[in-house]
Amino acid sequence: MTENGNGKKLWAIGGGKGGIGKSIFTLGLGISLARLGKRVILMDADLGGANLHTLMGVRYPAHTLEDFLLKRVENLEDTVLDTQIAGIGLICGADDILGAANPTYSQKIRVLNQIASLPADFVLLDLGAGTSFNTLDFFNYSAGKIAVFTSQATSLQNVYGFLKNSLFRRISREFAKDEEVLWLLHQTGSKAPEVKIESLSELLNLLQRKKPDQYRELRQLLRDYQVLVVVNMIKADRDFQAAQIIQNVSNRFLELSPQVLGYLHYDQAIEQAVNQMVPFPMNVQKSRAAVELREIAQTIIDRYAPPSDLEAPAYQQEEEKAAAGSSWSSFWRRAPAQ
């Protein structure tokens, strides 16, 4: 697995709703981690709607996840592309083949099994919108889980639904052979339940009376299920309340206590960077969002980073020495058009 007592290597970025900035956040976080001396691989796990390569200015990727899924290459590492950003590799999503959005179980297992061995300090998965089983499984498999959302009502509804579906998927797999627990889980929060169970707290109380072993197992699962949240596109002070809303609802109905990883203010420069196919925030020297991304990256390194056995290449070591006083654009190394 990718998690141990020393930290987390594999991170998944989800949120359920499209248009909330998951891909931009994934890219910005990757750039920030690289500028802080970490080797990063970004993987576009939006199977069927990949666009991370576009944000990085890669028009025609030489290799994609398709090559691994169809066994054109043996190792997932063979699909990693060098990028124009020092310290960052990219695995492009597979959106050009029939069925790419719905890989078989064996294909998905091949991907997940090899992610942990990729040569990087951090592997960031940019998940697609929605709550397909593939998206939920990637999220649940990752030791580090980040949910991104905005203060819009629809985004709040979607991110709560995403967290609920992810957690219920995890519980369903854990209790796959216990039909009674699965049945009770299906009743929880259902609009037309045979047994009224409105929250996981009520389900736990029921299990404590009827099935104490399963109660203890579910209680431990909930303790271990840690999610970090990021509120994106902050425009006003009231937008900060979005995190508290999700924390309260998740605690009340899901027995979860999501921790706030950070807040990102709205920045018009992001849209301009996307249109220019330039990785944000590399073309902005004093962007508020760029500063906040760096703070989030530093928090991840300080609290969750696994020990690194990777030695940075010479060119990166030199760049790291000057990173503290340099602009984002100093890491931009334009490659020939592809």
Residue 24 — pLDDT band, cuts 50, 70, 90? confident
Between 72-76, 243-247, 256-260, 281-285, the lowest mean confidence (pLDDT) is in 281-285
For the chain, percent helix, then strand, then coil, each to nearest 5?
45, 15, 40
- CA dist., res. 138 & res. 149, Å (int): 18
Q: What is the reported pLDDT for 4?
A: 41
- The pLDDT score that the predictor gives to residue 276 is 56
Region 232-242: mean pLDDT is 95
Higher-pLDDT residue of 11, 49? 11
Nearest to 1 by CA among 167, 149, 123: 123
pTM of the predicted structure, to 2 decimals: 0.85
Per-residue pLDDT tens digits for 156-202: 999 999 999 999 999 999 999 999 999 999 999 888 788 899 999 99
pLDDT of residue 268: 76
The confidence score (pLDDT) of residue 47 equals 66
Q: How far is CA 82 from CA 40, 68, 88, 111, in A?
A: 11, 17, 7, 19
Between 195 and 272, the higher pLDDT residue:
195
**Confidence at 143, pLDDT banded by 50, 70, 90:** very high
Residue 338's pLDDT band (boundaries 50, 70, 90)? very low
Average per-residue pLDDT in the chain? Answer: 82
Q: What is the pLDDT of residue 7?
A: 67
Q: Rounding to the nearest 10 degrees, give the CA dihedral for residues 233, 235, 236, 240.
A: 10
Alpha carbon 159 to its chain centroid, in Å, reads: 13
Residue 106's pLDDT is what?
A: 73
The class that CATH gives domain 8-155+228-330 is: alpha beta
Q: What is the pLDDT of residues 26-42, one digit of tens each?
A: 999 999 999 999 999 99
**For 64-68, 80-84, 135-139, 318-322, which range has the lowest pLDDT when averaged over its residues?**
318-322
The pLDDT of residue 284:
58
Percentage of the chain modeled with pLDDT above 90? 50
**Which pLDDT belongs to residue 49?**
58
Q: Are 229 and 149 in contact (CB under 8 A)?
A: yes
> Span 115-119, mean pLDDT?
86
Assess contact for 148 and 15: CB atoms under 8 A: yes
Confidence tier at 6 by pLDDT (50, 70, 90): very low
Could you please report the per-residue DSSP string of 235-257?
-SGGGGHHHHHHHHHHHHHH---
For residue 282, name the pLDDT band (cuts at 50, 70, 90).
low
pLDDT for the residue numbered 328: 31
Which of the pair, 209 or 24, is modelled with greater confidence? 209
Q: Return the pLDDT at 10.
A: 94
Residue 109 corresponds to which amino acid? I
pLDDT at 204 over 80: yes
pLDDT of 121 higher than 50:
yes
Query: Where do the structural domains in the chain lie, given as residue ranges?
Result: 8-155+228-330
Range with lowest mean pLDDT among 96-110, 259-273, 299-313: 96-110
Say if residue 114's pLDDT is above 80. Answer: yes
Inter-residue contact 89 to 42 (CB < 8 Å)? yes
Mean pLDDT for the stretch of residues 5-21 = 80
